[in-house]
Amino acid sequence: MTTPSPRRAFGRSHAIGAPTAARAGVFTMVMRATGTSLMLLMLTGCAADRSKSWNAPEEQRAFWASLQSLCGLAFEGAIAEDSVANPDFARTPLVMHVRVCEEGRLLIPFHIADDRSRTWVLTQTAEGLRLKHDHRHRDGSEDEITQYGGDTRGPGLPTRQEFYADAHTASLIPAASTNVWTVEIVPGHMFAYALRREGTDRRFRVEFDLTRPVAAPPAPWGHD
């Protein structure tokens, strides 16, 4: 709602020659402002009620709140570990962008230079948290290997959550059936995404510097 400025609401003739109209105008503006405040209060209360409906441990609630605090921000990172030295990750810059913050769902695109095919999707579930990987082609269509990931199996820590490969992942990528993905956040310091494949030496980790936000990148493919 746009509130008219005093100059537009009360012209020179009204201010001097028509005090009753001026007082009526003031009353109208106060009532409008009060109505807006009440509406915002109601919406805030509804959001709080929806948040309370998520029956999750305090550790996961704190973790989620830390992620939400980054909404709209982007950060540059660097590879901290990659056991297979994938050449794709040698390109720079590496940028994560907390782009979408919806009720119970966060979308975090992971850009590698001009490759905008990857988005991490975090959602709240009845049991805890879920991480999925949304992979797209340049035209926005889904890659053959997409929507893999897994769920948490315990409360985790306020700064760290682990996601164990689910049945869909095991069917789609049999070798990844023992994957465990980790998302870490140390507020005001570092965000990390990592992978370990249990029973193997496969390891990957990328860390992002939260002390230096960067310009938000373009939308990921398929999410324009």
If asked whether residues 157 and 189 sit together in one domain, one would say yes
Asked if residue 208 lies in contact with residue 192, where contact means CB atoms within 8 angstroms, the answer is yes
For residue 181, tell me if it sits in a domain: yes
For residue 221, tell me if it sits in a domain: no
For residue 1, tell me if it sits in a domain: no
Does the pTM surpass 0.75? The reply is yes
Place 52 in a pLDDT band, splitting at 50, 70 and 90: low
If asked whether residues 159 and 179 sit together in one domain, one would say yes
Place 91 in a pLDDT band, splitting at 50, 70 and 90: confident
CA distance 34 to 21: 20
Asked if residue 221 lies in contact with residue 140, where contact means CB atoms within 8 angstroms, the answer is yes
CATH number at residue 190: 2.40.128
Q: 2: which 2 tokens?
A: 């746009």
Query: What's the DSSP call for residue 216?
Result: P
User: What pLDDT score was predicted for residue 217?
Assistant: 97
Q: Name residue 104's amino acid.
A: G
The set of residues, in sequence order, having a beta carbon less than 8 Å from that of 206 and lying 6+ positions away, is: 77, 78, 79, 80, 89, 94, 110, 192, 193, 194
If asked whether residues 91 and 175 sit together in one domain, one would say yes
| Listed residues 52, 67, 84: the one ending a domain | 52
Q: Name residue 143's amino acid.
A: D
If asked whether residues 42 and 142 sit together in one domain, one would say no
Cα-Cα-Cα-Cα torsion 60, 123, 164, 220, nearest 10 degrees, comes to: -130
User: What pLDDT score was predicted for residue 184?
Assistant: 99
If asked whether residues 88 and 147 sit together in one domain, one would say yes
Q: 167: which 2 tokens?
A: 């049945």
If asked whether residues 32 and 74 sit together in one domain, one would say no
Domain that holds residue 71: 58-214
Question: What average pLDDT score do residues 20-38 get?
Answer: 43
User: What pLDDT score was predicted for residue 195?
Assistant: 98
If asked whether residues 86 and 39 sit together in one domain, one would say no
Distances, alpha carbon 149 to alpha carbons 4, 128, 173, 220, in Å: 51, 14, 10, 19
If asked whether residues 96 and 12 sit together in one domain, one would say no
Phi, psi of 103 (to 5 degrees): -65, 110
For residue 186, tell me if it sits in a domain: yes
> How many domains in the chain?
2
The total of other beta-carbon atoms located within 10 Å of residue 75's CB is: 20
Closest CA to 127 of 46, 60, 62: 60
For residue 113, pLDDT over 80 is answered with yes
Q: What pLDDT, in 10s, does the model give residues 125-163?
A: 999 999 999 999 999 999 999 999 999 999 999 999 999
- The residues with which 78 forms a beta bridge, in sequence order, are 207
